Structure 1
Amino acid sequence: METSEEESFMNGSSDSHMSLPDKPVLARSDSSTRLWSPHLRDLHILSVSFLFTFLAYGALQNLESSLHGDDGLGSISIGVLYLSLTLSSVAAPLFVVWLGSKRALLVGLSGYWAFVAANLYPTWGTMVPASLFLGFTASILWCAEGTYLTFAAKSHAVSCNISEESAIGTFNGEFWGIFASNQVVGNLISLALLYYGKGSSGDAASGTTPLIVAFLGSMAIGTFLAFFLRPQDSSYIIISEDRPPSSPARTKELIKRMFALLHEKKMVLLIWVLVYTGFQQAFIWGDFTKDIVTPTFGVAWVGGVMALYGASDAISSVVAGKFSTGLPAIAAITCVGAAAQGLALVTLLFKQQYGGGWLDSFLLSGLAIAWGVGDATFNTQISALLGIFYPDDTEAAFAQWKIWQSAATSAAFFASPRTGFFFKLYVLLGLLVLSMAALLFVIMRHLGWGNRR
């Protein structure tokens, strides 16, 4: 019987999608449901490892456009970083398959050391090469993270005899919740060292060196923890005596499968929301801190406001993960996050100037909290969605996310010095509406809602 176009869309099939070799299918045990498995240990270690690593990098990234504003060094460096990440993400799944997800995670962490260390002597000759290297390693790290987390969740579901969708949602909720806490811890450290370390000169930049040294120590802890992760399986069949992972035939097969996703209707439509996640992150990291927070409170208080954003992001991630039990829940949760960021954007359209009074401080804090709610829902629900839609192409699906997300982030940072604030708000609002329409359409078609029979 010939498959209809709507059925192909709902099943995620594509004419260009390559057939997969037979592999063992995970099956649930008939034993009674348990609440614990060794994969929970891996989840906890991965989450805390990323917390210690990114509390350093995340807080420093928030400060780049404010600390290194001369000739746009800070913004350009972040733009170069995400451009490098975009280009490198095309090949990232190959490295994850060749190395395995655990070793790929360790390789991916190395670039963050180089970038943070470069801030000890911030010049064009140190920041740009460090940004290029970080972009390359970050593409590997995030592709490996999505793969590792998805397969740890699936293995946990099998061990505990629970739904895969529920396990994926719970794992993503905990990971992104702990991960988002880096914005709280890192920015509070940033606030303390920059505000109290500015000395008699009143220059917050004078406290940068002890801040970076503290951040390097935090990253050492995060990297050390990553060594205790257990290896996880991959969605690709890479163990073969006659065709090892690095063989030309195997590499050619993986490349074809990665590009095959771009021919799928679901992925093409999802690109809009992947792009939006990049723009919304660039806005809160760069434009919001530079154009709203710094003129109001000063650069030292960027950490304080962003700590509120991080707390909101962390709490919302955990809550979103708990309620993410399937596609209808994913649609509803994402709508809540989109509404929160939409409200923040509309507020900023009507008010960009904030004073030091309690009312303006309260409103500014509310904007940061609302943005954190939106970021949490997008991170947790897109990650769960890709794991559900592409169980056999996990590396390639998460690479697509990083390609489009980082391309948007890079474009936003490069354009920031030459683009008006109002224009950025209108672009974000328009893209938010378009991306949510596309996302909801994909979910509805996959569930079969509205199909004529």
Structure 2
Amino acid sequence: MGPEGKTLLNIIILGFGFMFMFTAFQTCGNIEQTVIKSFNSTEFHGSGYTSMAIIYGVFSASNLIAPSVVAVIGPQLSMFFSGLVYSGYIAMFIHPYTWSFYTASVVVGIAAAILWTAQGNLLTINSTDATIGRNSGIFWALLQFSLFFGNMYIYFAWHGHVHISDEDRQTVFISLTVISLVGSFLFFLIQKPDPEATPSEASESLLQTESTESASIVKALQLSVTKEMLLLSISIAYTGLELTFYSGVYGTCIGAMTQFGEDAKSLIGLSGIFIGLGEILGGGMFGMLNKCNRFGRNPVVLLGLITHFVAFYLIFLNIASDAPIAPEEGTHLQAYITPSVEVALLCSFLLGLGDSCFNTQLLSIVGFMFREDSAPAFAVFKFVQSITAALAFFYSNYLLLHWQLLIMVVVGFLGTLSFLVAEWVVVSSRRDTDYDSI
């Protein structure tokens, strides 16, 4: 096998490793609040929302130390040990205690930062300038399929279960732990790329990045207060809020609707599948549009906002206001229309589609604006997104559904306005550059 074939195989193995790990972890995040409410143990006093708030809060802070860890032990071992931590978090649900639940949340936050830093590193050293776009596409496509498989498993495992028994919970979480461990061990199949397969410039810049880590932290702080990043940070903050909503809160709401009958709990899995369909359709469509888009990024972001506003309005009409914080037996309240499973799943699809509109365009504009400082710029991106996701998971413990929707409507509207201004800055600076070169 030639160098090109070896690096492509590495990327495919990387994608499959992440697909197995996040099939387990995203499914765990989607169902944990519902599962926690079903615990028979009265000694347990945890909240899935609080756990996710801790994970994202620690994740954002740990972005500062992650590059050092990856530089010392290498990307392969970094991903393997981080994967074991993810598996430990999932396994903890087999027999949970409040202390182990929150301790695992802190450790997973640290592991997440190391995992994603190592993933970026491994993607870089297995790509050339010509193949980085293709390799990123392969990786993300494989990762998004994780939304399908885990949620499909939940749909069939919980079909017809009104109450999630200890046995149901243990069966699901033992299975998810095994799936996650398979992903971690797959990382050992990744081979070291041949020296000629890696462009010398990339490896040099990688070494420079490791030696000037403190400089990159300073650079990230400098970038965070630039006019462009401040404009984009409102849009980035919005992606953190809606990430919380579609990945943790909405599934819990569907599971709490007693009007959906005995299928309510299994519908959490079906909802996750429809979110995944929206993500894959949007990611594929707008990823390709970026290459031949004459109209800029604004129409895609506006489409994302309209898609989300339609979804929020339908959710407001369809789902009871106390659904996010309802007790284990669910909510008997009704919203403004007779609750419809079809409308609920349509909203899941729209949430995924809108999320992909925002994320593809934000990744594109940050990469374009900060081409010279992409690593610290994306560190700021992850930091802002993680902090707002942590904040949203925290308030999800207390706020009724309509207040959560209102917060997202306001921040989404302001974030879209600020994105339009940021894109205008990009277009006008590009025009100035074109004039200068004439």
Aligned to 2:266: 300
Matched, 1:406 2:398: no
SS of alignment partner, residue 425 of structure 1: helix
Shift of 1:323: 2.1
Shift of 1:435: 1.2
Residues 93 and 437 of structure 1: CA distance in aligned 2, closer, same or farther (over 3 Å): farther
Aligned to 1:53: 21
Q: Of the candidates 284, 306, 330, which is equivalent to residue 339 of structure 1?
A: 306
Structure 1 vs Structure 2 CA RMSD:
3.2
Residues 71 and 239 of structure 1: CA distance in aligned 2, closer, same or farther (over 3 Å): closer
Matched, 1:396 2:362: no
Aligned to 1:89: 63
Shift of 1:151: 6.7
Aligned residues: 398
1:239-278 alignment to 2 at 5 Å? 239=207, 245=210, 250-278=212-240
Aligned to 2:113: 139
Residues 187 and 298 of structure 1: CA distance in aligned 2, closer, same or farther (over 3 Å): same
* Greater mean deviation of Cα atoms: 108-117 or 66-75: 66-75
* Greater mean deviation of Cα atoms: 36-45 or 60-69: 36-45
Shift of 1:132: 0.3
The answer as to whether partners of 2:318 and 2:338 remain within 8 angstroms in 1 is no
Aligned to 1:180: 144
The answer as to whether partners of 1:276 and 1:435 remain within 8 angstroms in 2 is yes
Aligned to 2:278: 312
| Cα distance in 1, alignment partners of residues 204 and 73 from structure 2 | 12
Code of the aligned partner of 1:319: M
What are the ranges of 5 or more consecutive residues in structure 2 without an aligned counterpart?
Answer: 38-43, 321-333
Shift of 1:71: 4.2
| Cα distance in 1, alignment partners of residues 83 and 285 from structure 2 | 28
TM normalised by structure 2 equals 0.80
Shift of 1:97: 4.6
| Cα distance in 1, alignment partners of residues 204 and 390 from structure 2 | 30
Q: Of the candidates 180, 187, 192, which is equivalent to residue 226 of structure 1?
A: 187
Code of the aligned partner of 1:75: Y
The answer as to whether partners of 1:72 and 1:417 remain within 8 angstroms in 2 is no
Shift of 1:67: 0.9
Shift of 1:373: 0.6
What are the ranges of 5 or more consecutive residues in structure 1 without an aligned counterpart?
Answer: 1-35, 160-166
Q: Of the candidates 88, 93, 107, which is equivalent to residue 114 of structure 1?
A: 88
| Cα distance in 2, alignment partners of residues 96 and 269 from structure 1 | 31
| Aligned-residue identity in percent | 21
Code of the aligned partner of 1:335: L
C-alpha offsets along residues 83-129 of structure 1, whole Å, 9 cap, x if unaligned? 21122123334434555544443343232112111111222121111
Code of the aligned partner of 1:221: V
SS of alignment partner, residue 442 of structure 1: helix
Residues 359 and 135 of structure 1: CA distance in aligned 2, closer, same or farther (over 3 Å): closer
C-alpha offsets along residues 309-362 of structure 1, whole Å, 9 cap, x if unaligned? 12222232222222221785544333322321121112233443479x998121
Code of the aligned partner of 1:54: F
* Greater mean deviation of Cα atoms: 364-373 or 436-445: 436-445
SS of alignment partner, residue 291 of structure 2: coil
Residues 252 and 365 of structure 1: CA distance in aligned 2, closer, same or farther (over 3 Å): closer
1:60-99 alignment to 2 at 5 Å? 60-69=28-37, 71-99=45-73
| Cα distance in 1, alignment partners of residues 365 and 312 from structure 2 | 25
SS of alignment partner, residue 207 of structure 2: coil
